[in-house]
Amino acid sequence: MQIEVRTVSAGDHSDWVTLWRDYLRFYKTELPPEVYAASWQRILDPDTRMHSALAHRGGTAVGLVNFLYHKTFWDTRDKCYLNDLFVLPEARGTGAAEALIRHVGAHAAECGAGEVYWLTASDNLTARKLYDRVASLTPFIKYKLA
């Protein structure tokens, strides 16, 4: 079955929320309802430069990607940060994750972004196999100020 990826619209709210909850559950976290609402509003607001797309297989939403653009001191072009990527377990191995990454890459190229980048958990070995195939691993380690 073919994978179709498209930018979300207001009518995709239910599918987006369901996949977002599944993604957060995968990372063993919960967010309050106001974060869901604010994130959805930001995605729909063209001035925030926050975006989301859904992968569909046979008319059913099976994956989601959230991404945003930001300025940097290292380039005159914006960077694109692929913030979240999730595919339902039953749709893994279908090409949905790669299609979502490619969608972000095409969007970033269209917007003139200089780079698309993302983070993942070091133990997310299944995803890292895909990432190693479609992108280059950087030597950076993330720190977080308390």
Burial per residue of 84-102, b for 16 or more beta-carbon CB atoms within 10 angstroms, e otherwise: bbbbbeebeebbbbbbbbe
Q: Pairing relation of β-strands 79-87 and 115-117?
A: parallel
Cβ atoms 96, 55 nearer than 8 A: yes
Domains present along the chain, CATH in parentheses: 3-134 (3.40.630.30)
In this prediction, residue 107 carries a pLDDT of: 98
pLDDT digits (tens, 9 = 90+) for 114-139: 999 999 989 989 999 999 999 999 99
The arithmetic mean of pLDDT across residues 36-46, rounded, is 96
Percent of the chain with pLDDT over 70: 100
How far does CA 22 lie from the centroid of its chain? 13
Q: Pairing relation of β-strands 79-87 and 60-70?
A: antiparallel
pTM reported for the whole predicted model: 0.94
Q: Which residues pair with 64 in a beta bridge?
A: 54, 86
